[in-house]
Amino acid sequence: MWLFLAFALVPLIEIGLFIQVGGLIGLWPTLGLVLLTAAVGMTLMRSQGAAAMQDLRRSLDEMSDPGRPLAHGAMILFAGALLLTPGFFTDGLGIALLIPKFRDLVLSYISKRVKVQSFSMGGSTIRGAAQDWPEQDWRDPRAPDIIDAEEIDDIPPSRPGDSGWTRH
C-alpha cells in the first residue's frame, strides 16, 4: 500500500512543483535549476560515498559491526538515484539523505522498527534480539594469527607452461 502511494504521489508532487516553480521563474530557469541541483547533489554524493566507504573499510578492518556504515552507504546510493530523477521533491529528498545527521535520524527511525533474528560474523552465528547482544570485538586478541596451509613439493606441471598450482 505504501509503495503504491509513493509511486502515485511522488509524480503528482513533482508535476505540481514544476508548474509552481515554472510559473514563478520560467521554463528555462526551472530546467536549469533542476540540472544544477542534480549536479550539486551528485558532487555531494561522491564525497559522502567515499567517506561511507572509508567508514566501512575501517569497521571491517577493526572487525566491528559494519551495519551503520552499510546503512549509510545504502542511503547514499538511494540519494544518488533520487538525484538522477528529475524533479525538485526527489532532489530535495536526495540532498537531505546526503546529510549525515539526517541519515542518522532515518537509521534510528528504521532500527526501532526492525528486529534482527540472527547475526553471523567470523563463522559464528548469534541468535536473538539485537539489544541482547554484548558489544564486543569479534576477534580474540589472545588468539595467534594462524594460517592453515599445506606445502606441496615436487609436483611436475601437467603441461608445459603450467605452474602446477591448479589441476584440470
Q: Quote the Cα angle for 29-10-92, to 5°.
A: 50
Q: Tell me the pLDDT tens digit for each residue of 63-90.
A: 887 888 889 999 999 998 898 888 899 9
Query: How does pLDDT run across 116-155, given as a tens digit for each residue?
Result: 666 665 555 555 544 444 444 445 555 556 666 666 666 5
For 17-78, list the strands marked E by DSSP: none
User: Grid coordinates representing 75?
Assistant: 542511503
- pLDDT higher than threshold 60 for residue 24: yes
